[in-house]
Amino acid sequence: MNGAASLVKALIDGGVEVCFANPGTSEMHFVAALDQISGLRCVLGLHETVVTGAADGYARMAEKPAATLLHTGPGLANGLSNLHNAKKAGSPIVNVVGEHALHHIEHDAPLTSDIQAIAAPVSHWVCTPESADALADAGAQAIAQAKRHPGHISTLILPANTAWDIAENTETKSQLGRSTSAREGSCVNVEGISVNDTHINELAQLLVLNRDTAKAGTTNVCMVLGGHCLSAKALELADQIAQSCNVTLLAETFKTRFQRGEGRVTVREIPYGINQAIELLAPFEHVITVCAKAPVGFFAYPDKPSTLWSPEAQLHTLANMHDNGVDALQRLVEQLDAGHFQPRLQARVEHVEPEDKELTADAIGLLVSNRIPDNAIIVEEAVTSSIGPTQHSASAAAHDWLEVCGGSIGGGPPLATGAAIACPERQVINLQADGSAMYSLQSLWTQARERLNIITVIFANNSYAILKHELDNVQASSGRVAMDMMELDRPTLDWVSLATGMGVRAERAQTVAEFRVAFDAALKHEGPMLIQACI
Q: Rounded to whole angstroms, how far apart are CA atoms 205 and 218? A: 19
Per-residue pLDDT, 191: 79
pLDDT at 509: 98
- Say which amino acid occupies 515: F
pLDDT of amino acid 481:
85
Residue 198: Cβ within 10 Å count: 8
Query: Are residues 428 and 452 in contact, defined by beta-carbon separation less than 8 angstroms?
Result: yes
| Distance separating alpha carbons of residues 502 and 525, to the nearest angstrom | 17
Q: Do residues 402 and 263 lie in contact, with contact meaning Cβ atoms separated by under 8 Å?
A: no
Position 415 scores a pLDDT of 98
Where the chain has pLDDT below 50, the residues are 174-177, 181-188
Structural contact between residues 187 and 152, judged by C-beta atoms closer than 8 angstroms: no
Question: Where would I find the beta strands (DSSP E) of 284-374?
Answer: 286-290, 314-319
Best CA proximity match to 41, nearest among 4, 66, 10: 66
pLDDT at 257 (0 to 100): 98
**Domains defined for the chain, CATH in brackets:** 3-181 (3.40.50.970), 197-336 (3.40.50.1220), 361-534 (3.40.50.970)
pLDDT at position 170 is 78
Question: What is the structure's pLDDT at 169?
Answer: 81
Do residues 287 and 222 make contact, with C-beta atoms less than 8 angstroms apart? yes
59-101, pLDDT tens digit by residue?
999 999 999 999 999 999 999 999 999 999 999 999 999 999 9
Q: What integer pLDDT is reported at residue 179 of this predicted model?
A: 52
Give the helix ranges, DSSP H, for 128-196. 135-146, 160-164
Specify the pLDDT at position 482: 81
What span, in angstroms and rounded, lies between the C-alpha atoms of 417 and 71? 21
Peptide bond into 528 cis (omega under 30): no
Q: Specify the pLDDT at position 189.
A: 58
